[in-house]
Amino acid sequence: MTQDNKKSSLASLEILGSGIASSDHIAAMLENAQMLRDFEWTQINALAAYVQLYRAAPGAVLFREGDRGDFMCIVLEGKLEVHKEDNQRIDKTVTTIFPGRSLGEMTIVDGEPRSATAVAVEPTTVAVLTQENFLLIMRDKPALSAKLLLKIARLLSQRLRLTSGILVDYLEE
């Protein structure tokens, strides 16, 4: 996959208009997201008012490693690959993100540059929560933001534990 034939940034994706993506429609799609499984319908519906839907064509880049991060995504339809460069600057596929899974959560918490690149491998629809809208949720709906932040912390903790296990196995070889 060459860098030249990839579209870059969220701005290059097709935003799904408000006629198609009403808050109720978004909530219905979010209901199946893994990170929202223990959320009540009223919480999912409230969250839906703060997210937007985007459609990515195959090869579209949602974000690049090293870019400033300001949003997270939940994959609703399609599939994304996450890539990271190794120390020889060779692009490696780290994981594949399927519907119901999220990515980019770290940037909502720390605002640091992206740690990897996310590329659509088939037509993909994502729900996007910007850092700005997350701050609005914190202001407008503190209980929802606390629950969402706790869920993000748990996801990051689970991923760190998994990565630590993989690292130990690698070091033992």
Reported as a single tens digit per residue, the pLDDT across 39-93 is: 999 999 999 999 999 999 999 999 999 998 899 999 999 999 999 988 888 889 9
Q: Which of 106, 122, 40 is nearest to 73 (CA)?
A: 106
Reading the block at residue 18, the tokens are 């408000």
Query: 42, 95, 48, 40: which is closest to 76 by C-alpha?
Result: 48
Q: What is the CATH number of the domain that holds 99?
A: 2.60.120.10
Q: Is 149 left (phi over 0), alpha (psi -120 to 50) or beta?
A: alpha
Looking at residue 3, what is its pLDDT? 42
Residue 1 lies in a domain: no
pLDDT band at 5 (very low <50, low <70, confident <90, very high): very low
Is 129 among the domain residues? yes
In a domain, 113, yes or no: yes
Structural domain contains residue 150: yes
DSSP bridge partners of 92: 84
- Over the stretch 125-165, which tens digit does the pLDDT of each residue have? 999 999 999 999 999 999 999 999 999 988 887 877 777 77
Task: State the total domains in the chain.
Answer: 1
In a domain, 4, yes or no: no
Domain of residue 77 covers: 10-172
5 within domain boundaries? no
Contact call for residues 117 and 64 (beta carbons, < 8 A)? yes
Contact 50, 136 (CB under 8 A): yes
Under 8 Å between Cβ of 7 and 60:
yes
DSSP 8-state assignment for residue 34: G
